[in-house]
Amino acid sequence: MGEKVLEVISLRVYYDLPQGTVRAVDDVSLDVRRREVIGIAGESGSGKSTLALAITGLLRPPAKVVSGKVLFNGVDILRLSEDELRRIRGRKIGVIFQDPNTYLNPIYTSGFQVAEVFEAHRGIHAKKYLNEVVKLFRLVKIADPERRVYAYPHQLSGGMKQRVLISMAIAERPDLIVADEPTSALDVTIQSEIMDLLAEIREETNTSIVMITHDLALLFEVADRVAIMYAGKLVELGRASDLIKDPLHPYTKALLSILRYERKKKLTSIPGSIPSLINPPPGCRFHPRCPYAFSKCSKIEPKAVNIDGRLVACHLVGGSE
């Protein structure tokens, strides 16, 4: 496959809190190739958003990068100055956040807020770019775009606002779009429309997409490869089709079996709960909830092994040691 747009190498991001250090992203490696949609899934609190913020250079205290690299087109964005980073954000990397209601500023029109992306990278006041925004709104299928550019966020529906945020992310045709749960605040009917839209945009603009969600069903529809995170660790990474057919990590298996039960309208969840990231369990972080755990799992942390281009971190898999 194509060249790497993004390469995350042994990244650790911790939150320094008075109660202790939260190891939200702990030694995660992953790469994204051109035109690829890579999905990241995992339960709430597994570190997905923290990873997204690190990729986009948007981490703010108390978050701190402890070690690792985030190479974007070969440049480590964690080492860039604030101004160098600013030139990349919005132009080379677009971000779509979870909740369209709070990520738009209520006091400016939607068109103006999108036009600000152009202002940021081409100079000249945002007002001059409203015509271009109309075109963008048409691209993201906002009806009546000539009028909607003058609409304030409170005059738009949730789905419409998310389309506005998407048009903002794609405005400068970035190489990479990071979408952190772009549909979870929306109605079910609108969720798949938005996902389809993102897939179309990928086709038209050749951008790569990092798609974060805990809705696995949606994810497997659009993603080329899927990464599964658990408690700050990446436990499995592989082609979506392989993962869904033959999950290797017990946590992936558990997530997928929930998905199948949900299809049959039976609600289940994995027994137990996600551990504290201040004092994570020793060894494999999943072992307290793992049905296959044995003594080694609570003592030694499994290393990720590569099986035919697929990464799995489990003692049961590929374990020659």
Partner 1 sequence: MSLARYLIRRVVQVIPTFVGALFFMFILVRVLPGDPARLIAGPEALEEDVRRIRELLGLNKPLYVQFVDYMVSILRGDLGTSLKFGTPVINEILNRLPYTIALALVAESIALSVALPLGIISALRPRSKATYISSVISLTGSSVPIFWIALIFIYIFSVSLRILPSSGADSPRHIVLPSITLSLLLMGNLTRITRSAVIESLSSNHVLTALAKGLKYRVILIRHVLKNALIPIVTIMGIQIGSLLGGAIVTETVFAWPGIGSLLIDSIFYRDYPLIQGIILFIVLVFIVINIVVDVIYALIDPRIRDVLWRTS
Ligand X SMILES: Nc1ncnc2c1ncn2[C@@H]1O[C@H](COP(=O)(O)OP(=O)(O)OP(=O)(O)O)[C@@H](O)[C@H]1O
User: Footprint of partner 1 on this chain (CB under 8 A)?
Assistant: 56, 58, 82, 86-91, 94-95, 97, 99, 102-108, 113, 116-117, 119-121, 152, 154-155, 165, 168-169
Q: Do the beta carbons of residue 98 and residue 182 sit within 8 Å?
A: yes
Amino acid at 78: L
Stretch that binds ligand X, among 46-54, 123-131, 153-161, 258-266 (CB under 6 A): 46-54
Instruction: Please say which residue, 8 or 277, places its beta carbon nearer to ligand X.
Output: 277
By CB under 6 A, is residue 167 in contact with ligand X? no
By CB under 6 A, is residue 281 in contact with ligand X? no
By CB under 6 A, is residue 15 in contact with ligand X? yes
Find which of ligand X, Mg ion, partner 1, none residue 106 binds, CB within 5 to 8 Å per kind: partner 1
Task: Please state the separation of Cα 309 from the chain's center in Å.
Answer: 21
For 309, the token pair is 């281009």
Could you tell me the sign of the dihedral formed by the alpha carbons of 183, 27, 274, 247, in that order? positive
Query: What region does 208 belong to: left with phi over 0, alpha with psi -120 to 50, or beta?
Result: beta
Using CB under 5 A, pick the residue from 46, 49, 113, 208 that binds Mg ion: 49
Size of the site for ligand X (CB under 6 A): 15
By CB under 6 A, is residue 96 in contact with ligand X? no
Instruction: Please say which residue, 56 or 167, places its beta carbon nearer to ligand X.
Output: 56
Task: Measure Cα distances from 201 to 2, 113, 169 in Å.
Answer: 18, 20, 11
User: Residue with CB nearest ligand X?
Assistant: 49
Instruction: Please say which residue, 22 or 166, places its beta carbon nearer to ligand X.
Output: 22
For 200, the token pair is 């179309």
Q: Do the beta carbons of residue 249 and residue 307 sit within 8 Å?
A: no
Find which of Mg ion, partner 1, ligand X, none residue 68 binds, CB within 5 to 8 Å per kind: none
Could you tell me the sign of the dihedral formed by the alpha carbons of 284, 28, 229, 227, in that order? negative
Least Å distance, CB 150 to Mg ion, is: 32
Task: Measure Cα distances from 260 to 94, 217, 265, 267, 272 in Å.
Answer: 33, 9, 9, 10, 19
By CB under 6 A, is residue 22 in contact with ligand X? yes
Q: Do the beta carbons of residue 233 and residue 287 sit within 8 Å?
A: no
Least Å distance, CB 245 to ligand X, is: 25
By CB under 6 A, is residue 24 in contact with ligand X? yes
Question: Which residues in 211-250 contact ligand X (CB under 6 A)?
Answer: 214
Query: What region does 173 belong to: left with phi over 0, alpha with psi -120 to 50, or beta?
Result: left
Least Å distance, CB 214 to ligand X, is: 6
Task: Measure Cα distances from 90 to 12, 78, 103, 176 in Å.
Answer: 24, 16, 15, 10
Stretch that binds Mg ion, among 44-52, 74-82, 86-94, 294-302 (CB under 5 A): 44-52
By CB under 6 A, is residue 44 in contact with ligand X? yes
Using CB under 6 A, pick the residue from 9, 33, 45, 86 that binds ligand X: 45
DSSP string, 24-38: EEEEEEEEEETT-EE
Residues binding ligand X (CB under 6 A): 15, 17, 22, 24, 42, 44-50, 62, 214, 277
